[in-house]
Amino acid sequence: MRRLNITLFRSRKGQATTEVVLLFPLFVIFILFIIKIFGLLVLSQKMEIAGYYAARRYQLQSHETDYYHRTWDRRFLMKDIQKKVENYLGFDNPGMKKFLSLRRVKVDINPSGSWTKVVITAQTKPPMIPFLCKYNKDQVCDRDDYCLKGYAFLCETGGEVVVNKYVGHNERPAPYMRPEGK
């Protein structure tokens, strides 16, 4: 059986600590940006799924008659869809709400003509990365529009993600009746 030579490990030179110390903050900044971008991607995908759910559910459970449209659809169906969308996006989970930087969500359902338009709008909080937001935006951006929008998103206002879905009217076929009435 061979013995491991410990002196072999001792003779190697180590990484310069100044390089590690200087690169570590850059690595942390890079990781924070990647996490926030990933959170926005997750939010947009979840909103697409929630938009499909809201549109399809309204299409299948809404009513054509004006009485039921004004009463049951507005009082129960739209509020229940709003609640389900909020729960799916993560408003009931504090960890998910913080990861996605959620502030509020709004579901608008506009039935008109032959199409029903469902708009889901999620407003996010600014990530507020402390070592980036302590600088004056006029000095950082120097009147660059894209930079000012990015600074406003990161440090002041946050953002808004909007999803639009269109569905047709609820045109369910009448149930098939067998000739014998069963």
**Partners of 119 in beta bridges:** 108, 164
- Amino acid sitting at position 120: I
Contact 126, 158 (CB under 8 A): yes
Please state, in angstroms and rounded to a whole number, the distance separating the CA atoms of residues 164 and 64.
Answer: 22
pLDDT of 3 strictly over 80: no
Residues with Cβ within 8 Å of residue 54, at least 6 apart in sequence: 81, 84, 85, 107, 109, 118, 120, 165
Q: What is the mean pLDDT of residues 126-140?
A: 78
Report the percent of the chain where pLDDT is more than 90.
27
Look at 141 and 20; give whichever has higher pLDDT.
141
Contact 51, 157 (CB under 8 A): no
Q: What is the mean pLDDT of the chain?
A: 81
The DSSP line for 82-116 is HHHHHHHHTTT-HHHHHHTTEEEEEEEEEEETTEE
Percent above pLDDT 70 for the chain = 84
Residue 8, pLDDT above cutoff 60: no
pLDDT at 42 over 80: yes
What does the pLDDT read at residue 11?
A: 53
CA distance 45 to 50: 9
| Residue in the structure block whose two tokens are 């502030």 | 103
Rounded to two decimals, the pTM is 0.72
Query: Which of 85, 159, 90 lies closest to 125 in space, CA to CA?
Result: 159
Q: Which stretches of the chain are assigned E, i.e. beta strand?
A: 102-112, 115-124, 160-168
Residue 31, burial from CB neighbour count under 10 angstroms (0-12, 13-18, 19+) = exposed
